[in-house]
């Protein structure tokens, strides 16, 4: 139920700043999202021919600063604070170095998890092949963690890569049902954005940022932490 609340809040926030967030989505694509697109466009055909598709996430590493900048904007939008385009560039300047390192680590982890999935699924020994389930489980949870990773970085009073990684991982594994359901809903929204092609460039980036921000906000409220700044 909490995951549906997060999606509803994200949609309301997006609607309230519709035209501004459309602009922010386009800006994200131009300043970093293009690398995410490259990772998908290369990874998909490689997967169909059994190539090294697991390396594709590494192409998305340069998208880190733009993603942190969008998270910085989403944080203000979610709290109904004044926001304009200058906050995107402020977030870009504030977080670009840490965001690049954070994204490099997170994409490397994703690539290694995918590699392990491929390796163990191809082993003929039944006991070791059973570990495929473990790696699939970890991939799902890491993808769920990625939704709140950059909102976590933007939320820290003193942004540090290790603290953002550790806190996000702990939060995700401590709320397994919520995390998996939220990821499933994010996949549904992504699929809808792909089907209704116009939503992909205009809405999807901002929606994902708002999902992460509202999810983080809700989890923090659950444990009694309420921060509006």
In a domain, 151, yes or no: yes
Instruction: Give yes or no for a contact between 21 and 218, defined as CB atoms under 8 angstroms apart.
Output: no
Which of residues 134 and 22 earns the better pLDDT score?
Answer: 22
State yes or no: pLDDT of 227 exceeds 60. Answer: no
pTM over 0.85: yes
pLDDT tens digits along 160-219: 999 999 999 999 999 999 999 999 999 999 999 999 999 999 999 999 999 999 999 999
In a domain, 40, yes or no: yes
Q: What is the pLDDT of residue 127?
A: 67
Phi, psi of 159 (to 5 degrees): -60, 120
In a domain, 176, yes or no: yes
In a domain, 116, yes or no: yes
In a domain, 228, yes or no: no
Q: Whole-angstrom Cα distance, residue 172 to residue 219?
A: 10
Token pair recorded at residue 124: 């003929």
In a domain, 179, yes or no: yes
In a domain, 229, yes or no: no
Which of residues 229 and 172 earns the better pLDDT score?
Answer: 172
Q: How many domains does the structure of the chain reveal?
A: 1
In a domain, 36, yes or no: yes
Tell me the residue range of the domain where 43 lies: 2-222
pLDDT tens digits along 136-168: 999 999 999 999 999 999 999 888 999 999 999
């Amino acid at each position: 139920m909490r995951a549906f609340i997060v999606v509803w809040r994200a949609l309301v926030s997006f609607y309230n700043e519709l035209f501004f967030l459309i602009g922010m989505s386009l800006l994200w694509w131009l300043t970093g999202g293009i690398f995410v697109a490259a990772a998908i466009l290369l990874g998909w055909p490689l997967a169909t021919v059994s190539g090294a598709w697991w390396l594709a996430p590494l192409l998305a590493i340069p998208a880190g600063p733009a993603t942190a900048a969008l998270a910085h904007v989403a944080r203000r939008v979610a709290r109904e604070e004044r926001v304009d385009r200058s906050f995107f560039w402020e977030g870009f300047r504030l977080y670009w170095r840490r965001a690049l390192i954070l994204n490099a680590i997170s994409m490397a982890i994703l690539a290694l998890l995918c590699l392990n999935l491929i390796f163990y699924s191809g082993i003929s020994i039944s006991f070791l092949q059973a570990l495929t389930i473990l790696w699939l489980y970890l991939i799902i949870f890491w993808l769920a963690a990625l939704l709140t990773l950059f909102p976590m970085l933007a939320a820290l009073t003193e942004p540090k890569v290790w603290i953002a990684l550790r806190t996000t991982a702990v939060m995700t594994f401590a709320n397994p049902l919520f995390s998996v359901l939220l990821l499933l809903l994010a996949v549904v929204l992504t699929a809808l954005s792909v089907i209704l092609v116009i939503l992909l460039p205009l809405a999807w980036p901002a929606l994902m940022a708002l999902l992460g921000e509202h999810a983080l906000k809700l989890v923090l409220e659950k444990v009694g932490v309420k921060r509006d700044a």
